[in-house]
Chain A
Amino acid sequence: MRRFSWFNVTSLTLGFAFLYVPMLILVIYSFNDSKLVTVWAGFSTKWYGELFQNQAFLDAAWVTLRVAVMSSTIATVLGTMAAYTMVRAGRFYGRTLFSGMIYAPLVMPEVITGLSLLLLFIGIGLDRGVVTVVLAHTTFAMCYVSVVVSSRLVSFDKSLEEAALDLGCTPFQAFRLVTLPIIAPAVISGWLLAFTLSLDDLVIASFTAGPSATTLPIKIFSSVRLGVSPEINALSTIMIGIVASGVILFSLISKRNIARAEADARAAERT
């Protein structure tokens, strides 16, 4: 029975305009014919063409993608284990330290995380490259994954696992056959979160990457420091497009799954 009041409409319109207009301008001006990024000179896709000619960007994109896939996958495994440990393992020696180490990276300034990891890699003599970035990204991403997964595990009925054990599963089978399928949506969201965090990260990568593994954010940062460029607008548009369609697709799928589950439940009630 609630309707929009004029105040709410105004505040929502202004708020969402503030959130979306800058990105909208960016997208529109990526199709600008002119080199001058703030003067409209007709529609063109030439910056996309130039972007795909630019080997340095393509290389950086390839590095970023590899890093993101590897680090988010490892982070999802470790983060899920950590979440399971926090929610299910009960008391063990050093539990407080463990939970502290899971939550601390979430609030730690990136400059400090980056600096400390770099000092570690130099200290143990590990050459900086893709491996070090993957190690660094995995470390902070696993904490995010573990928070996402443990919030699902907390609301998960423990008796389901106990039923599986009662029916003859080993603990590992119970996890694989019962727990994992049920918490799968949270694990997938965790992976997506880890993936985008890795794609997005500039600061930690700058510290840990070294010259051999320039990621896309590092490349973008060094070129936008000099000012706005239409090529970067085109690149940004592609990235925004991928993320937006990914998120919308994911939410549509989960919405459809929920709708289907509800329809099934209704059908089951009728019979």
Chain B
Amino acid sequence: MRRFTLIALPYLWLLGLFLVPFLIVLKISLSDLNLSIPPYMPQLDISAGWSGLMEFFSELDFENFVWLTEDDLYWKAYLSSLKIAVVATFLTLLVGYPVAYGMARAPSEWRPTLMMLVILPFWSSFLIRVYSWMGILSNEGFLNQFLLWTGIISEPLQIMNTTTAVYIGIVYTYLPFMILPIYSALEKMDDSLLEAAEDLGCSRLKAFWLITFPLSRAGMIAGCFLVFIPSIGEFVIPSLLGGSDTLMIGKVLWEEFFNNRDWPVASAVAVVLLMILVIPIILFQRNEQKQREAEG
């Protein structure tokens, strides 16, 4: 009996507040826009019994999904989100790898401190971390002041409200997610492997490419997924740092819902976004699984 309560309580909670809401989204995405509150049709009328149910299902259709393909705003937003996520993930990898490598090669008494320094930003507010770049990237911001002072540029650069600013924001906020898995892969590596490679005739650089780099591959893949998956649906970064031409699907969904009050289309956008995300999530799970098997 106790065992039953133990399982049932979190189970029911998640059913009611995770699965059911998602089914509602799915259902609304198949509904039509209505000008009342709630602004969609049809409503399920339980009292009408079987015929009500039949009627309910007959009125559901894929109109909103058709609409997503017809209006180029949506597929452009999906493509642009994908592009931004891919580029930002790659940039994060470029920034994160040397840091993770430096940490893994640091004297062991330094490593806990370095680790803490990487994790600490993760605990402080995401919103504030994004906000901190607004003062740096704006036209009269610190970056432009600095560049003007050094004489590299004579006119302030327009970085704020561009896609570049979004890249910077994503790299900055998700960097710890990239560093940690790469670090843990590099840290596990046995030093004698590099010595063996040198002993067998490799130069230091060659040993890095032939041994260290391939052995950190699983860490890199994990890090890339951990950055890529949340950046696709990102809302805060494009809306604070991006401009009107920065199209990201999270922002589109938000606007469709709050500004246009078109709930069925917003739901359809959400369903498609999730379908896009399923692929990288499954690939990520596979990578983790393979990793565990290789270690186990």
**A190 within 8 A of partner (CB):** no
Which A residues are in CB contact (< 8 Å) with B273? 109, 111-112
A57 to chain B, nearest CB (A): 14
Which B residues are in CB contact (< 8 Å) with A172? 2
Query: Interface size class for chain A?
Result: 35 or more
**B266 within 8 A of partner (CB):** yes
B117 to chain A, nearest CB (A): 6
Q: How many pairs of residues, A versus B, come closer than 8 Å at their CB atoms?
A: 231
Q: Assess the A23–B270 pair: CB atoms within 8 A.
A: no
A79 to B10, CA, bound (A): 7
Name A192's closest neighbour in chain B (CB-CB).
Answer: B123
**A139 within 8 A of partner (CB):** yes
Secondary structure call for the A interface:
helix
**A58 within 8 A of partner (CB):** no
A232 to B274, CA, bound (A): 34
**B102 within 8 A of partner (CB):** yes
**A26 within 8 A of partner (CB):** yes
Q: Assess the A109–B277 pair: CB atoms within 8 A.
A: yes
**B19 within 8 A of partner (CB):** yes
Q: Assess the B118–A19 pair: CB atoms within 8 A.
A: yes
A255 to B102, CA, bound (A): 24
Contact of A25 among B136, B172, B240 (CB under 8 A): B136
B215 to chain A, nearest CB (A): 18
Which A residues are in CB contact (< 8 Å) with B108? 2
Which B residues are in CB contact (< 8 Å) with A14? 98-99
A-B contact pairs, 8 of them (CB 8 A): A7-B98, A81-B10, A89-B7, A97-B19, A109-B250, A117-B17, A202-B127, A227-B138
Binding site for A on B (CB under 8 A): 2-3, 6-7, 9-11, 13-15, 17-22, 24-25, 28, 38, 95-96, 98-99, 101-103, 105-108, 114, 116-121, 123-129, 131-136, 138, 140-142, 145, 172, 175-176, 179, 229-230, 232-236, 239-240, 250, 253-254, 257, 263, 266-267, 270, 273-274, 277, 281
